[in-house]
Amino acid sequence: MLVAFLLVLSTVANAHVASAYTPQRGDYFRYSENTTVNNGQGVYTGYTDQLQTTGMEQMNSVNGSIVSASYSYSYQYSNNQGSSTSSSSSDSYTWSSSNYTYASGTDNQVGFGGIKYSRPLYIWFAMNTSLSVGSTFYVLNTHFTMLSKNYSFQLPTENKYVQTIQAEGTGQYQRNDSYGTFTASYTWYEYFDPSTGYIVGYNYVEQDNGQFQGQVGSFTYTDDLYVTSTSYSLIPANLPTTVSTTSTTSQAIAVAIPWYLVYLVATIVIVALVVIIAAYAAARKRRGRETLPKHPYPPTSPPPSPPSTPFPSNVDLGSKPPEQVVIKEVAKVNCKYCGTLIPTTADRCPYCGAPRQ
C-alpha cells in the first residue's frame, strides 16, 4: 500500500512538471536591432553613433538535442563625425537544446558592447520554458534570473502587447577596444515566448566610465532588439500588469462602497468646509477691528524699530520702601495717524513714530 501511495504521489507531481519546447525544423524569427552610443561626458561630450541591424535566425534540422541552424544579417553604421559604413554576414552553426549552448560555431555575436565571451557560451535567442519564476540560467556569459512568466511586452512593429517570459541579467567587464579603456556595467532584460522559449525582444543598457587615449570620459551604450516576424505564434496580452492592477483595484473599491455612503461623506465634508470658512472670515473681521490703522512712512525714512522692552519701568517692587512719585500733568493730544494720546511736548508719536503736526 505504501509503495502504491508513493507511486501515485510521484505520478501526480510529475504531471505538473512543465516540459521544455523541442525545436523543430523550420523554426525561425526575423528581427530588428538598434544600437546607440550617447550621453557622452568628458572626451566623449557630444559624441553619438548608431548601428541599425536587421537579421534572421533559422533552424534547419534537428538530430536529437543538436540543432543545425543558420543566421544572416546586414547593418548600417554612422556617427555624428560623418563616418558611416555598412556590411552583412551569414553562416551556419549548431547548438544544443539540452543545455542551450553553442555546439560548433556561433551566429557571429561578437559581443554586446565589448564583452569577450568564453566557453561554454550560451545562446541568446532561446531558453528553457520549464523553468519557474526565480530560477536562474545563462544568456551568452551573463547570469539571468526569471522575473515573470506573464509579462506584457510591447512590439513596436505591430503596436501591440504580447505575453512573454521576462528575465533580468546584470554584469560588469573591462572594455578595451576602439572606444577606449573603460569599466562597463550593464543591465539586460530579455523577453521570450512562453510556448517555445524563442526570443521576442530584449533591452540592454551599459554605462562606460574610463579613458580614451589618456583622456577621461564616459558614455551610455544601449542595444534594443525585437522580432519582426516569427514561425511561432505570439500570444496577445493586455497592458502591462502594473497598469491593469491599479485599474482593477480602483474598480473594486468603487464597487465595494455603496453610493449613499459616498453621498453622506461628501455632504459632511462640504458642511465642515463651509463652517471652517465662516469661522475664519469672522476671526479675520474681528482682528481687523482691533488693529490700529497704518499710515505711510516718508519714502526716504524706514519704518521705526519697535522698542526692545515695550513698557520699561524703574519701580522696585518690594526690595525697598516705595518712593514717592510726583506726577506732573501734561496736556495731551491724539496722534493724527494712529490716534494714540501723546504729550504736547513730544515731537513724535511714541507708538508709531509719526511727527506730531
Q: What is the mean pLDDT of the chain?
A: 79
CB 85 within 8 A of CB 60: no
Could you tell me the CATH number of the domain that includes residue 145?
A: 2.30.230
The answer as to whether 68 is a domain residue is: yes
Q: pLDDT confidence of 165, banded at 50, 70, 90? A: very high
The answer as to whether 300 is a domain residue is: no
Residues sharing a CB contact under 8 Å with residue 170, sequence separation 6 or more, in sequence order: 142, 185, 186, 187, 188
* pLDDT for 44 beyond 90: yes
The answer as to whether 251 is a domain residue is: no
Residue-range definition of the domain harbouring residue 103: 23-238
**pTM for this predicted structure:** 0.64
The answer as to whether 99 is a domain residue is: yes
pLDDT digits (tens, 9 = 90+) for 211-249: 999 999 999 999 999 999 999 999 999 887 554 333 333
The answer as to whether 198 is a domain residue is: yes
- How many independent structural domains does the chain possess? 1
The answer as to whether 51 is a domain residue is: yes
Residue 268 has a pLDDT of 85
CB 60 within 8 A of CB 68: yes
Calpha distance 169→164 (Å, rounded): 16
Calpha distance 36→203 (Å, rounded): 12
Q: Is 227 exposed, middle or buried (0-12, 13-18, 19+ CB in 10 A)?
A: buried
pLDDT digits (tens, 9 = 90+) for 199-218: 999 999 999 999 999 999 99
Q: How many other C-beta atoms can be found within 10 angstroms of the C-beta atom of residue 83? A: 9
Calpha distance 26→62 (Å, rounded): 10
The answer as to whether 246 is a domain residue is: no
Q: Is 217 exposed, middle or buried (0-12, 13-18, 19+ CB in 10 A)?
A: buried
pLDDT digits (tens, 9 = 90+) for 289-323: 433 333 333 333 333 433 333 333 333 434 444 45
The answer as to whether 294 is a domain residue is: no
